[in-house]
């Protein structure tokens, strides 16, 4: 699929890799290398010498899912001189919002930090961790269990909008179920009062569960887990999307979440799911070989 293209040399230089040619000029400033050929091909990292300059060239094209998953590592030191394209990071955050989410409630928010002063404050709140200190940008994934009612209403409103004003009497069984799911079932499960209601529901459901299969996760702590589960999936979507374009990340839960909430002016009900450091990996940024428990110890074919 690689297209061979040669560009006229005005000032600067051109190089030809196995599959594609590039033409560059430079302003004697490593941060300002420009590339006239923006090739939608696999990411290439080309390292060569020219006037003592070592130039890393990243050409954007997404990796396959498996390539991106293999490429993603927790990177704790990012290249100091390479900035990230904020719009590209934002696109990866859009991919995060496409993650699967419990009941499609999307109990999450994403805070994309690019401001240097706030990045510095965040480094302190992330306990001075390298992954925060060297980050060019940060993403804070926030779980918003408290928004369940608003999100359920948004789902119900969306469903109604797809029904084009059809009278209730003409709703199909599936349409009735979907609406009642957001208007009745979700409020039943999510409504809480000082943690007591959740426990009462839990006990009732345990008794009913003696006789038939039933949903049991109704306590406040259960619902928090539900929100964090989905937020975690969104975080993973983000990190894989970043890896796909050659950007690196490091998820962090080692942080002072209260301080982060203050920095981001978040409401009481918001919970920090994780902070994700972002940048381009430095050679020293990956601390070791990837270790995983042998697959046979975690895989069970039933
Ligand atoms: C929820 C979560 C929290 C993490 N918190 C931190 C952290 O605070 N600091 C850190 O350096 N790495 C953190 N990590 C990264 C893990 O240490 C890392 O994913 C693990 O060692 C596996 O390495 P890999 O991501 O390179 O495959 C976290 C990862 C996850 C999923």
The pLDDT value given to residue 7? 35
* 3-state secondary structure string across 256-286: CHHHHHHHCCCCCCCEEEEEEEEECECCCCC
User: Measured in angstroms, how far is the CA atom of residue 252 from the centroid of ligand 1?
Assistant: 6
* 3-state secondary structure string across 34-94: EECCCCCCCCCEEEEEECCEEEEEECCCCCCHHHHHHHCCECCCECCCCCCCHHHHHHHHH
Residue 101 Cα to chain centre, angstroms: 13
Select 65-147+223-289's CATH number: 3.40.109.10, 2.30.30.40, 3.40.50.1370, 3.30.2130.30. Answer: 3.40.109.10
The pLDDT value given to residue 198? 84
The pLDDT value given to residue 214? 87
The b/e string for 204-239 (b: 16+ C-beta within 10 A; e otherwise) is ebeeeeeeeeeeeebbbeebeebbbebbbbbbbbbb
User: Measured in angstroms, how far is the CA atom of residue 69 from the centroid of ligand 1?
Assistant: 14
Q: Are 143 and 227 in contact (CB under 8 A)?
A: yes
The pLDDT value given to residue 158? 96
Segment holding 236, helix H or strand E: helix 220-244
Q: Closest Cα to residue 58, out of 72, 40, 75?
A: 40
Q: How far is CA 226 from CA 53, 195, 200, 252, in A?
A: 50, 16, 19, 19
User: Measured in angstroms, how far is the CA atom of residue 250 from the centroid of ligand 1?
Assistant: 7
Segment holding 186, helix H or strand E: helix 186-190
The pLDDT value given to residue 42? 42
Ligand 1 pocket: which of 68, 250, 279, 285 to mutate (most atoms <8 Å of CB)?
A: 250
User: Phi and psi dihedrals of 218, rounded to 5?
Assistant: -120, -5
Distance CA 299, CA 302 (A): 10
Looking at ligand 1, which residue's alpha carbon is closest to its atom 23? Answer: 74
Report the nearest atom of ligand 1 relative to the CA of 255.
8
What residue spans define the domains of the chain? 13-58, 65-147+223-289, 150-209
Say which DSSP state 182 is in. Answer: I
**Signed CA dihedral, 71, 275, 134, 286: sign only:** negative
Q: Residues 6 or more apart from 53 whose CB is under 8 A from it?
A: 26, 30
Query: pLDDT per position in the chain (302 positions), as tens?
Result: 333 333 333 445 445 544 444 545 444 444 444 443 333 344 344 444 444 344 444 444 689 999 999 999 999 999 999 999 999 999 999 999 999 999 999 999 999 999 999 999 999 999 999 999 999 999 999 999 999 999 999 999 999 999 988 898 999 999 999 999 999 999 988 988 888 888 888 888 888 899 999 888 888 889 999 999 999 999 999 999 999 999 999 999 999 999 999 999 999 999 999 999 999 999 999 999 999 999 999 999 99
Q: Which two tokens stand for residue 242?
A: 């970043």
Ligand 1 pocket: which of 249, 253, 285 to mutate (most atoms <8 Å of CB)?
A: 253
Q: Which two tokens stand for residue 52?
A: 């003592």
- Sole residue written with tokens 């061979």: 4
Q: What is the dihedral angle through the alpha carbons of 32, 37, 40, 43, rounded to the nearest 10 degrees?
A: -50
Q: Which residues line ligand 1 (CB under 6 A)?
A: 73-74, 76, 129, 131, 250-254, 274, 290
CB atoms inside a 10 Å sphere around CB 49: 8
Q: Are 108 and 142 in contact (CB under 8 A)?
A: yes
Looking at ligand 1, which residue's alpha carbon is closest to its atom 22? Answer: 74
The pLDDT value given to residue 114? 98
User: Measured in angstroms, how far is the CA atom of residue 126 from the centroid of ligand 1?
Assistant: 13
The pLDDT value given to residue 4? 35
Q: Are 82 and 255 in contact (CB under 8 A)?
A: no
Ligand 1 pocket: which of 73, 239, 251, 288 to mutate (most atoms <8 Å of CB)?
A: 251
Q: Closest Cα to residue 287, out of 137, 131, 132, 136?
A: 131
Count of CA atoms in the C-beta half-sphere (13 A) of 268: 0
């Amino acid at each position: 699929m690689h297209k061979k293209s040669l560009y006229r040399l005005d000032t600067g230089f051109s190089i030809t890799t196995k599959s594609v040619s590039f033409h560059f000029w430079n302003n004697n400033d490593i941060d300002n290398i420009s590339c006239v050929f923006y090739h939608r091909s696999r990411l290439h990292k080309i390292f060569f010498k020219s006037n003592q300059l070592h130039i890393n060239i990243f050409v954007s094209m997404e990796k396959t899912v498996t390539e991106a998953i293999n490429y993603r590592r927790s990177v704790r030191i990012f290249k100091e001189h390479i900035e990230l394209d904020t719009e590209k990071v934002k696109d990866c955050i859009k991919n995060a919002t496409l993650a699967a989410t419990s009941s499609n409630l999307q109990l999450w928010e994403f805070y994309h930090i690019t401001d240097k002063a706030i990045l510095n404050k965040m480094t302190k709140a992330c306990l001075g961790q390298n992954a925060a200190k060297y980050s060019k940008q940060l993403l804070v994934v926030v779980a918003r269990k408290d928004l369940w009612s608003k999100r359920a209403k948004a789902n119900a409103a969306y469903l109604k909008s797809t029904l084009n004003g059809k009278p209730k009497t003409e709703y199909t069984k599936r349409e009735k179920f979907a609406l009642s799911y957001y208007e009745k079932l979700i409020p039943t499960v999510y409504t809480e009062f000082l943690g007591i209601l959740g426990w009462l529901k839990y006990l009732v459901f345990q008794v009913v569960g003696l006789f038939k299969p039933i949903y049991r996760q109704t306590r406040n702590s259960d619902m928090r887990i539900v929100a964090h589960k989905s937020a975690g999936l969104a975080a993973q979507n983000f990190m894989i999307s970043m890896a796909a374009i050659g950007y690196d990340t490091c998820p962090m839960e080692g942080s002072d979440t209260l301080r982060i909430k203050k920095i981001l002016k978040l409401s009481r009900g918001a919970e920090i799911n994780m902070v994700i450091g972002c940048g381009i990996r430095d050679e020293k940024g990956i601390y070791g070989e990837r270790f995983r428990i042998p697959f046979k110890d975690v895989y069970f074919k039933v």
